[in-house]
Amino acid sequence: MVELNVVTAGSADGPTLVFLHGVGNSLRTFTFAADALADRARVALVDLRGHGSSPRVPGGYDLDGYVADVEALLEGTGPALVVGNSLGGAVAWTLAQRRPDLVRAALLEDPPLRPADVGTVAPIFQVLQRQVRRWQDADVDAATVAAALGAMPVLGGRPASEVQAPEVLDARARGLLDVDPEALGAVADGSSLGALDLASPVTVPVRVLAAGEGTGSVLPADAVAALARTHPDVSVRRLEGAGHVIHDESAHRADWLAEVEALLQAA
């Protein structure tokens, strides 16, 4: 277990709302959410191990390690509403299974829920790990990385700069410059999320906001069908046309925020 870097904002009297990012990102990706929600909640933005300003843990990028860190955090803050994207969604799901006393409810943003589905993106992370090592070794600045990210094709071949705002690309660039490349490699080799469990019960309210199947989702239709069989109380909404990091996309951020607002209102 490591002590995570956490940035908090908002009212101490409101419910605690914890945000967990995906692999290669950092708490910067949710800064806009803290600005939007701090008047109604105590918002905690978290850097997962090996990301942002949290400690690197060579050889320690598996689901159990990620979960143990956040579990210790929630033991200090008390039960929380948890929002997680990708890896963060997998952590939130596993916490809801293992420690329902710490998770009041969860919103999972395009989470992988089966190890096999993580394998479908392994080649992407192999390439990304090599590129991140080159950027970090060359001490490339965030503006250069953001420009490279903005030129990359997403969502049917459009450059990312047409889909994501400049501050989104900057946050993503800084996340990649800070991340331990081993964390990316653990996704590529399958060790990061091999312990995902779609069978064990979840007794707290969980909502899933999935990306479009043809635009990068790691939650395919057969995974949703399996989830419906094992956890019929978990509701799923798929945003066709949305990419894997829904909250980063200008066209879909309002949908994402509406889901977070609903989570808060139900608390």
Q: What is the pLDDT of residues 115-170, one digit of tens each?
A: 999 988 999 999 999 999 999 999 999 999 999 999 999 988 899 999 999 999 99
Which band of pLDDT confidence, cut at 50, 70 and 90, is reported for residue 267?
confident
The backbone torsions φ and ψ at residue 195, rounded to the nearest 5 degrees and listed phi first, read -90, 10
pLDDT of residue 251: 96
Contact at 8 Å (CB) between 204 and 100? yes
pLDDT > 90? residue 32: yes
Long-range contacts of the stretch 131-135 (C-beta < 8 A, 24+): 132/24, 132/176, 132/177, 132/179, 132/181, 132/184, 133/181, 135/176, 135/177
- Burial degree of 55 (CB within 10 A; 0-12, 13-18, 19+): middle
Record the tokens describing residue 244, joined without a space.
């894997």
User: Residue 194's CB: how many other CB atoms inside 10 A?
Assistant: 14
Residue-level pLDDT at 248: 97
Which pLDDT does position 79 carry in this prediction? 96
Q: Encode pLDDT of 196-229 as tens digits.
A: 999 999 999 999 999 999 899 999 999 999 999 9
> Which residues are CB-neighbours of 35 under 8 A, at least 6 positions away?
none
Q: Are 58 and 182 in contact (CB under 8 A)?
A: yes
Give tens-digit pLDDT for 77-111.
999 999 999 999 999 999 999 999 999 999 999 99
Q: pLDDT tens digits for 156-204?
A: 889 999 999 999 999 999 999 999 999 999 999 999 999 999 999 999 9
pTM for the model stands at 0.97
Q: What is the pLDDT of residue 13?
A: 85
Residue 129's CB: how many other CB atoms inside 10 A?
A: 21
Q: What is the mean pLDDT of the chain?
A: 96
Please report how many Cα atoms fall inside a 13 Å half-sphere around the Cα of residue 165, on the Cβ side. Answer: 12
**What confidence score (pLDDT) does residue 157 get?**
87
3-state helix, strand, coil in the chain (%, to 5): 45, 15, 35
